[in-house]
Chains A and B, each alone.
Chain A
Amino acid sequence: MLKINIAQDHPMPLQVSLECMPGELHALVGPSGSGKTSVLRTIAGLRNPNIGRIEYNDQIWFAGGNIKGVEVILPPSQRPCGFLFQQYALFPHLTAIENVSIPLQNSGYTAAKRKSIAFNWLKRMGIADLASRIPSQLSGGQQQRVALARAMSREPKILLLDEPFSAVDTPTRQSLYKTLADLRKDLNIPILLVTHDLREASLLADRITVIDQGISLQTASPKTLFQKPRNSRVAQLVGINNMFEGVFTAGNLTWNGCEQAFNVIDKGKIPPGTPVAWVIPPDGLSLHSEQTPASIEANVEQVSALGQIALIQLRIKGGENKISWEASAAEVRRLSLEAGKSTYIKLDEDKIHIMPLRPINDPRRLLD
């Protein structure tokens, strides 16, 4: 298992803790400049944090600062990582097969054996026929496959993927997803994937760590992350549209700007009278053409048709709160949703998730 607990305040604040199990694909997600690539580079040893610990099973790769006072810095060449760079970083003067052979340089194998292993990896990536081409003679997708073969050829103990799909077109990306999925089936190593594409992370990863301004905010499965973000910033980063503010007191949530209140169960972590942010997932919302018990009246502000679906913008009557809702074209017809008309919203209280308004992590906690 790969365990990371690192912190620094320069050149950018970084405070990240995460674990990645063998066979797990763990995605690091965050906006540009959030520090996710720095985490990957730190694991590979291309940069070192101020303090912290990076270990793989019983092997310590980095231990420094005030944790136990031990100083261990393993150079990148001695860390058994496969690293896939965003812009491939292939050696431009070497052919595809030579690129893949390079990591086997210190393996003790003969040149012929190294070449044979490299060729097998190229074959596995479906580009054996391109073995004698140099990178400038390959397309972006082909270069990425060579880079993946190079990252894998010395049988790394962990695989680090830095936005590997961002520079390729959609069909190539789909095909690379499949290659990665096939690779995962055969390997039992931790895989860390850096991406800013949340959809991609949800599609591929077992768990996601959300990073913002160098701080890991939450690690959870994609489903949990969307349904139960730890705080309002996480909710914002994962693109939850229906997020509101309120006050939570002993099982009762009041909605700021509305008269409505909801019965919400909390694990007792939030003190009474705390201002909170709360979210409701799409499946916790339903629209009705007639008033029902506990339904809330709303005005339809906008109906935007997007092919087979429509994005409905609603404003709660008597307030400024807005709710957005995705509906099928058939549903829009059934409910006669048109701008200016009234409708009734029902919120499933069981699906309301409340959380502190601000992140509770302090970036400098580990540095003190």
Chain B
Amino acid sequence: MGIWIGHFLARAGALKGWIEGLLALPLVLPPTVLGYYLLVSLGRVSLFGLPLVFSFTGILIASLIVNLPFAIQPIQRAFEAIQPEIVEAAQVSGLSRWQTFNLIELPLAWRGIVSAAVLTFAHTLGEFGVVLMVGGAIPGETKTVSIAIFDKVQNFDISGAGTLSLLLLGISLASIAFSYGVFGATRNKNSNRAT
């Protein structure tokens, strides 16, 4: 979904600002506000007869909405970085829109896509407020690591909270290092271009 929306926004003309703003809302809204709206709206919806709130599917949908900006923005920037002439060259070479996307744009934007996937993964893992409100911290179903840390601190299990915090810290650091590594490689490659 991030690839599709990121590609669309990179090529969008009118209304681009509004759509970008709407999709970036989760970045600026307090998690409780977002969680409240999702709780209210998902509370009235069911999937295959099962309620969405307080279920794994529910927190999956909530996480998708909350983390969409983290996925879209690096992907959008990666597609925007492709010179329009390159896409035009593909068109005048007889490639269809799908072939242009698949053979030219996607391989050129892959670093942005990988980076987006890693960042989104790390951020989703640490999601707290929205997941708590929509999922309700049901053990074995909707209780995430970050909620578990909160519960352990509440129960004075400081060493358990410390272990889980270290786990999240390690994963986040590895993810960001990987993401920076991918972009660092791109920068070096570009600066070494032949003249």
Contact = CB atoms under 8 A, between A and B. Distances in A.
Interface stretch (A22-30, A101-109, A173-181, A333-341): A101-109
B92 A44 contact: yes
Interface of A: 44-46, 75-79, 81-83, 85, 87, 89-93, 102-103, 105-106, 136-139, 150, 154
Contacts of B90: 91, 102
A79 B92 CA distance: 8
Which of B93, B95, B194, B195 has the most chain A CB within a 10 Å cutoff?
B93
B92 A81 contact: yes
Contacts of A102: 90, 93, 95, 103
17 contacts: A75-B91, A77-B96, A79-B92, A85-B89, A87-B85, A89-B83, A89-B85, A89-B86, A89-B88, A90-B89, A91-B86, A91-B89, A93-B108, A103-B93, A136-B189, A139-B195, A150-B89
Contacts of B92: 44-46, 76-77, 79, 81-83
B13 interface: no
Main SS at interface, chain A: loop
A77 B103 CA distance: 15
Given A93-B108, A136-B193, A137-B194, A106 B86 contact: no
B107 interface: yes
B88 A77 contact: no
A364 B162 CA distance: 76
B91 A76 contact: yes
A137 B192 CA distance: 10
A291 B92 CA distance: 63
A139 B91 CA distance: 24
A330 B17 CA distance: 69
Nearest to A100: B93
Nearest to B110: A93
A133 B193 CA distance: 12
B88 A76 contact: yes
B103 A105 contact: yes
Contacts of B96: 77, 106
Which of B88, B92, B99, B194 has the most chain A CB within a 10 Å cutoff?
B92
Given A46-B91, A102-B93, A105-B99, 7 more contacts: A77-B93, A83-B88, A85-B88, A89-B89, A91-B86, A92-B108, A102-B90
B94 interface: yes
Main SS at interface, chain B: helix
Which of A44, A45, A83, A92 has the most chain B CB within a 10 Å cutoff?
A92
A154 B94 CA distance: 9
Interface string B72-95: 000000000001011011111111
Contacts of B107: 93
B104 interface: yes
Nearest to B91: A76
A45 B195 CA distance: 31
B95 A92 contact: no
A106 B95 CA distance: 8
Interface in B152-195: 189, 192-195
Contacts of A87: 85
A73 B73 CA distance: 34
Given A46-B88, A76-B91, A102-B93, A91 B104 contact: yes
Contacts of A93: 107-108
A136 B194 contact: yes
B108 A139 contact: no
Interface string B103-129: 110011000000000000000000000
A85 B90 CA distance: 12
Contacts of A90: 89
A105 B94 contact: yes
B194 A150 contact: no
